[in-house]
Amino acid sequence: MAPNLFLLTQKAFTPYHWFKRTKPESKQTRNIEHWDAPVAGSYEYIPGRGWYLIATDAEGALEPSQRQKIIYSKVVKRNLLQPEYDSRKRRAVVKVDETAKTSRLGFFRLDDGVTWVCCWDADGKFVPGPWERWVEDKAPGTFRKMLKGDDPAWQSKRNSLSASASASTAASRTGSTSSALKSSERSGVSTVASSAKDSAIGFAGSGSNSLKLDGLKIDERRE
């Protein structure tokens, strides 16, 4: 079968026929969902901008100026409102080695409110964990590496052990005092019982003598 010269000529001089036509992708539409966190409320997805909190269960709809963007934190592995995310993020100049070399790095504060992790390099690039733990130094805006005594988990464990030891000591003292009181009560009861017994024996002995005396007197009278 001979080729169709018309179709060959058409394809040769109309390059757009060389490619298959594809349907344009459907545009993303706005979507509204209800989430329980980071704040219970309604969130709207705006194409090209992301998710925004548009209403809360407690206060209702928010004004456009009050709507807050949602940012996912790769450090704590959950969504945060932008104001909270920004308050946890900080850059500071720190010593990176023993040669006193300094670098401006990025830090993020963890949920305990004390621990900071260095998760952005000098170029602002995110560095996957695990991360070294840092704490704020005495001077504002400065950081130093965390020591054992700075760790909130270690402090909590230490306080718990101290409380347990104090409770054990108090219980031991209470037990000793109770034992002493019981021993004293038993001693007192024994003393009272012994005195009562001696009195009963003495009373019984004196009664017997009286009877004997009376009997003697009676016998004397009979003789």
In DSSP notation, 95-131 reads: E-STT--EEEEEEEE-TTSS-EEEEE-TTS-B--S--
Which pLDDT band, with edges at 50, 70 and 90, does 111 fall under? very high
- According to the model, what pLDDT value does residue 149 have? 83
pLDDT in tens, 156-195: 777 777 766 666 666 667 666 666 566 666 665 555 455 5
Q: Is residue 5 part of a domain?
A: no
79 and 94 assigned to the same domain: no
Instruction: Provide the 8-state DSSP code for 3.
Output: -
pLDDT in tens, 134-144: 999 888 788 98
- According to the model, what pLDDT value does residue 101 have? 80
Residue labelled with tokens 């269960």: 57
Single out the residue in 130, 152, 174 at which a domain terminates.
152
14: left (phi over 0), alpha (psi -120 to 50) or beta: beta
96 and 145 assigned to the same domain: yes
Q: Which residues pair with 80 in a beta bridge?
A: 71
Tell me: pLDDT of 107 over 80. Answer: yes
Single out the residue in 66, 84, 102 at which a domain terminates.
84
Structure tokens at 135: 């704490």
78 and 108 assigned to the same domain: no
Name which of 216, 73, 65 is nearest 131 in CA terms.
Answer: 73
121 and 139 assigned to the same domain: yes
117 and 71 assigned to the same domain: no
Q: Is residue 185 part of a domain?
A: no
144 and 128 assigned to the same domain: yes
Name the residue range of residue 54's domain. 31-84
Name which of 85, 63, 60, 59 is nearest 72 in CA terms.
Answer: 85
Q: How many C-beta atoms lie closer than 10 Å to residue 87's C-beta?
A: 11
117 and 62 assigned to the same domain: no
β-pairing verdict for 133-136 and 116-120: antiparallel
116 and 142 assigned to the same domain: yes
Which helix (H) or strand (E) segment holds residue 189: the answer is helix 152-222
Q: Is residue 221 part of a domain?
A: no
Q: Is residue 190 part of a domain?
A: no
- Out of 101-115, 150-164, 187-201, which region has the weakest mean confidence (pLDDT)? 187-201
Name which of 28, 39, 89, 33 is nearest 66 in CA terms.
Answer: 39
Could you tell me the pTM of the whole model? 0.59
Structural domains of the chain, count: 2
Q: Is residue 184 part of a domain?
A: no
43 and 62 assigned to the same domain: yes
79 and 133 assigned to the same domain: no
Instruction: Provide the 8-state DSSP code for 213.
Output: H
Single out the residue in 152, 171, 205 at which a domain terminates.
152
Higher pLDDT, 58 or 160: 58
94 and 125 assigned to the same domain: yes
80 and 58 assigned to the same domain: yes
